[in-house]
Amino acid sequence: MLILETIIHDVVWGGEKIGPHIGVPGARIGHLYSLVDQKGVSSTILNGALKGTSFSNWFSASKKKLGLARFSEFPFVVAIVDARENLSLQVHPDDEQARALEGADFGKNESFYFLESPPLGTIASCPVDTIEAVRDILEHGSAQDLVEYSPVNKGDYLYIQAGTLHALCAGSLAYEIEENVPYTYRVYDWGRLGDDGLPRPLQKEKALQCIQPQLRALARPMKAMETERLYAMRLVEGGQVAAAQAVEHLECWTALDGPHEIDGVPVCLGTTVVLEAGERMPLQSGTWMVATLNKEICHDQN
Ligand SMILES: [Zn+2]
């Protein structure tokens, strides 16, 4: 069992809802990384024999056993997101576009589970039908004309397929799981300035190569199990089961409330506990989102 330390990511649109849960009231936090293995940022293990070492090192040493040897980094990232302002209007590349534009192995899909819903709704669609119309608006009109809201409620699930024009909106507090690919192309940033006092860069040309205007994502109540291509997820109330147990595959249990104490370590909103197959964690209470790897990807192709 690995308990991972959360990592604060301070961004210009971040809110103040997460801070009180993790002992830093008043902090403006956009992303609280729960589980991350990327170049330059990796979760730290808080318990047991590996205490103080990085999750990246653990994954490198374990990936063959997990059937994930072809992945250079752990396949998904988990975070809690608090949006005080709208996030940028953006798109992520699909596999083919990621290969062509970035030389990357695969593109990026992502999912959200809403702990609090934004009053205006969410943006997960394009109001025009063709990429030529999108280009025309970006070159000659106002990017605001590409903004279209759709409703979202607390407890809803939203899956954003690569190619979907989208933005998480002000008032969202969400559990986010995303394929571990760093590519985001912004087309509009609401006239906002970055920490350096300058507008944050846009990537309109790359975005125009990725936007599929017909794609539309709708938020809906979360099912008992949501399975996407790299990950599957389910919600568990601690009172429902006496223990968390990973039977066949690795499970990543992320606390959606707290504080709790596991293995002598305080566990708060956003803390992830990784259970390997056969491991068990007593559970008294709390609400947890459990992410597992989609079994389809747990094999080596070499
Ligand atoms: Zn996104």
Q: How far is the CA of 183 from the centre of ligand 1 (A)?
A: 9
Q: How far is the CA of 131 from the centre of ligand 1 (A)?
A: 19
Whether the pLDDT of residue 278 is over 50: the answer is yes
Q: How far is the CA of 44 from the centre of ligand 1 (A)?
A: 25
Q: How far is the CA of 279 from the centre of ligand 1 (A)?
A: 33
Tokens representing 111 are: 């999912």
2: burial class by Cβ within 10 Å (0-12, 13-18, 19+)? buried
Q: Calculate what percentage of the chain has a pLDDT beyond 70.
A: 99
Q: How far is the CA of 259 from the centre of ligand 1 (A)?
A: 29
Q: How far is the CA of 173 from the centre of ligand 1 (A)?
A: 14
Q: How far is the CA of 74 from the centre of ligand 1 (A)?
A: 19
Q: 205: which residues sit within 8 A by CB, 6+ positions away?
A: none
Q: How far is the CA of 162 from the centre of ligand 1 (A)?
A: 9
What pLDDT score does 106 carry?
92
Q: How far is the CA of 101 from the centre of ligand 1 (A)?
A: 17
Q: How far is the CA of 181 from the centre of ligand 1 (A)?
A: 11
Report the DSSP pairing between strands 2-4 and 7-9: unpaired
- Mean pLDDT on 40-65: 97
Find, among 286, 259, 270, the residue nearest to 8 by Cα: 270
The structural domains of the chain, ordered by start, are 2-226 (2.60.120.10)
What pLDDT score does 302 carry?
45
Which has the minimum average pLDDT: 34-43, 45-54, 202-211, 257-266?
A: 257-266
What pLDDT score does 225 carry?
97
What pLDDT score does 300 carry?
64
- Mean pLDDT on 54-79: 96
Q: How far is the CA of 240 from the centre of ligand 1 (A)?
A: 32
Contact 70, 106 (CB under 8 A): no
Whether the pLDDT of residue 139 is over 80: the answer is yes
- Mean pLDDT on 277-301: 87
What pLDDT score does 245 carry?
87
Q: How far is the CA of 54 from the centre of ligand 1 (A)?
A: 26
Whether the pLDDT of residue 195 is over 80: the answer is yes
Confidence (pTM): 0.96
| Per-residue pLDDT reduced to its tens digit, 100-110 | 999 998 999 99
Q: How far is the CA of 90 from the centre of ligand 1 (A)?
A: 6
Q: How far is the CA of 215 from the centre of ligand 1 (A)?
A: 14
Whether the pLDDT of residue 65 is over 90: the answer is yes
Q: pLDDT category, 240, cuts 50, 70, 90?
A: confident
- Looking at every residue in the chain, the average pLDDT score rounds to 94
CA separation for the pair 271, 217 (Å, rounded): 28
Q: How far is the CA of 91 from the centre of ligand 1 (A)?
A: 6
Tokens representing 296 are: 């389809």
Tokens representing 251 are: 């499970």
Alpha helix segments (H runs only) across 159-241: 204-210
Q: pLDDT category, 295, cuts 50, 70, 90?
A: confident
- Mean pLDDT on 133-155: 95
Q: pLDDT category, 301, cuts 50, 70, 90?
A: low
Q: How far is the CA of 62 from the centre of ligand 1 (A)?
A: 29
Tokens representing 115 are: 């702990």
What pLDDT score does 83 carry?
97
Q: What angle do CA 250, 251, 256 make, to 5 degrees?
A: 160
Q: How far is the CA of 166 from the centre of ligand 1 (A)?
A: 7
- Mean pLDDT on 269-288: 93
Whether the pLDDT of residue 178 is over 80: the answer is yes
Q: How far is the CA of 109 from the centre of ligand 1 (A)?
A: 8
CA separation for the pair 100, 153 (Å, rounded): 37
Amino acid code (one letter) for 96: E
- Mean pLDDT on 157-168: 98
Whether the pLDDT of residue 280 is over 60: the answer is yes
